[in-house]
Amino acid sequence: MVRSMVAGVAGLKAHQSKLDVIGNNIANVNTWGFKAYSYNFKDAMYTNTINSTGGSIIAGAAGGHNASQVGYGSTVSSISNVYTTGAPSPSSRTMDCMIDGTGFFLVGNMVNGSFTNVEGSGLFLSRVGIFSVDNNGYLVDDMGSYVYGYAVQEGTGIPEKPATAAEYTITDAEVQRSDPDGSTPPKYTITIGGKSIETTQTDFKDQIQDWLTAHSGKGDFENYNIALKGYQDPPANRPTGDNVDKGKISLSITKKSNGPEVGYDADTGNFTPNNNPVVNAFGTNYTLANPGNDRVAGTAAVYPDTLSTIRIPIDPDTGQRYDIQSWRIDKDGTIMGTDNQNRAIPIGQLALCTVENPNGLEKASGYYYTIGANAGETEAIKPNGGPAGIIKSGWLEMANVDLANEFSNMITTQRGFQANSKIITVTDEMLQELVNMKR
């Protein structure tokens, strides 16, 4: 049959394939981290109608002439990714982050232990940083894959221990309550530790609370917070002629100034009460519930150069993982958490992977890439502002699809498809004329 028909069909297939690529680009215009594809044509094979020959200068010989070739249409040359960085889009989550550079996140299933060989790890590369923490305290992405980076070296990254105040427990301190006076409303006089107040409260506990409000952190008790731990109502019957009720009270007294209590010997556990006349004012039934401690400086976090999963560290004081309430990711990939004691806890540092030939990567499920045979050297580094980039927390990378370019490509592809279909139509008409010649 006529070769123009073959060329037209080849052109139709090639333009249909390009339209498939354009359609995929437009479909993913709102896909986080998507990289647009470009479709490239090449002409198909050729046949020689006349072969080329060289000329000869021998007498009587002819000069050379070029080959005459007829082609068979077009086909795909390559479909390649465009690895420009997409525009940043703000996110309401601090654990969402994007890479401002050419690097990739390293994610995948669990790899036990630490490693340095990225290519042999069997993990995926990703440009989408939608991160969270799973039930085991591991950093994962929204497809459930573990995120790899540099975990905090054991024995480092321990937050400081703030100084705590000394605390005393007073038991069976006497509370004296006078009979009400004749005023309206009647007033009672409450005396504890030699200090008195007047109150119109009729309930014994409420009268004690009024006394605490009047004296805790004030006057002679300026450096102490006093809290009620328990009380015992005055006995129903009191001695004849006594005009006061006498109850019992238990208190917790905490020094406002931090650090160990003066007079307390940590080695022997002994305490000299003469150093604290405020405590002694309530009687001799006291215990030093907590001597307090000075501030203990923290240990700076150290991140090794080997890759591993990132997990919330264990608090050496409790043996449990820190209770993280909020998160922050710095531009160098350092992940910081704030625990329930408002302490800054280093969690780990994200790794960025550099790829020698990004077009050698192969798309996998979702937004993952696998390291293809032609990707070249792949290396994991700590984000440092170089070509691999930095981390921008609170942002996600939009697709780098250029809609204006895609629509113009769609128009030219459609016209190319129409032109090739016209070739087939014209060829069909020529064949019809040829057949009609027999009639």
Q: Which amino acid is at 404?
A: A
Residues 71 and 105 in one domain: no
Do 175 and 286 belong together in one domain? yes
C-alpha 60, offset from chain centre: 84
Q: Which domain holds residue 409?
A: 3-51+67-83+400-436
Bridge partners of 378, per DSSP, are 355
For residues 262 and 171, membership in a common domain is answered with: yes
Nearest to 379 by CA among 116, 121, 129, 102: 116
Answer yes or no: is 61 within a domain.
no
Q: How distant is the alpha carbon of residue 266 from its chain centre?
A: 43
57 found inside a domain: no
Domain C-terminal end among 258, 290, 322: 290
Q: Is the peptide bond before 185 cis (omega within 30 degrees of 0)?
A: yes
List, in order, residues 6 or more apart from 92 with CB less than 8 Å away. Answer: 394
> Pick from 290, 311, 344: which residue ends a domain?
290
* Torsion sign across C-alpha atoms 427, 431, 432, 437: positive
Q: Which of 290, 318, 347 is the last residue of a domain?
A: 290
pLDDT at 96: 96
Question: Would you say residue 19 lies in a domain?
Answer: yes
Number of domains in the chain: 3
SS3 171: strand
DSSP type of residue 88 = E
Q: 244 in a domain, yes or no?
A: yes
178 and 198 in a single domain? The answer is: yes
The residues pairing with 362 across neighbouring beta strands, listed in sequence order, are 370
403: helix, strand or coil: helix
Instruction: In whole angstroms, give the CA distance from residue 123 to residue 111.
Output: 9
Say if residue 214 is in the same domain as residue 285. yes
Tokens (6 digits) for 65: 């002439």
Is 58 inside a domain boundary? Answer: no
Q: Is 114 exposed, middle or buried (0-12, 13-18, 19+ CB in 10 A)?
A: middle
Q: Is residue 273 domain-shared with residue 171, that is, in the same domain? A: yes
Q: What angle do CA 239, 243, 248 make, to 5 degrees?
A: 70
In this structure, the chain runs to a length of 439
What CA–CA distances, in Å, run from 250 to 217, 247, 261, 287?
A: 17, 11, 21, 11
Q: Please report the sign of the dihedral spanned by the C-alpha atoms of residue 22, residue 23, residue 29, residue 34.
A: negative
Angstrom distance (rounded) from CA 399 to CA 406: 13
Same-domain status, 373 and 303: yes
Whether residues 412 and 310 share a domain: the answer is: no
Task: Let me know whether 176 and 76 are in one domain.
Answer: no
Quote the pTM value.
0.71
Is residue 145 included in any domain, yes or no?
A: yes
- 60 domain residue, yes or no: no
Distance separating the N- and C-terminal Cα atoms of the chain = 20
241 and 312 housed in the same domain: no
Q: Confirm if 107 and 146 have CB atoms less than 8 A apart.
A: yes
Let me know: does 70 contact 38? Beta carbons within 8 Å: no
Distance CA 305, CA 266 (A): 41
Tell me how far CA of residue 141 lies from CA of 128, 133, 159, 319, 430, in angstroms: 8, 8, 27, 27, 61
Q: Could you tell me if 255 and 366 lie in one domain?
A: no
Judge if 172 and 150 occupy the same domain. Answer: no
C-alpha pair distances (Å), 416 with each of 17, 18, 210, 262, 301: 12, 11, 91, 92, 61
Structure tokens at 200: 């119109």
Instruction: Walk along the chain (439 residues) and give the pLDDT tens digit of each residue.
Output: 578 888 888 999 999 999 999 999 999 999 999 999 999 988 887 777 788 878 777 877 777 778 888 878 888 888 888 888 999 999 999 999 999 999 999 999 999 999 999 999 999 999 999 999 999 999 999 999 999 999 999 989 999 888 877 788 888 888 989 888 888 889 999 998 888 999 999 899 999 999 999 988 888 788 888 899 998 888 888 777 778 888 899 988 887 766 666 555 556 555 555 456 667 777 767 777 777 777 888 899 999 999 999 999 999 988 999 999 999 999 999 999 999 989 999 999 999 999 999 999 999 988 999 999 999 999 999 998 888 999 999 999 999 999 999 999 999 999 999 998 998 898 888 888 888 887 6
pLDDT value, residue 81:
87
Structural domain contains residue 62: no
Q: Which of 40, 47, 48 is closest to 75 using CA atoms?
A: 40
- What is the C-alpha to C-alpha distance for residues 79 and 37, in angstroms, rounded to an integer? 6
Predicted confidence at residue 429, as pLDDT, reads: 86
Strands 46-50 and 37-43: unpaired
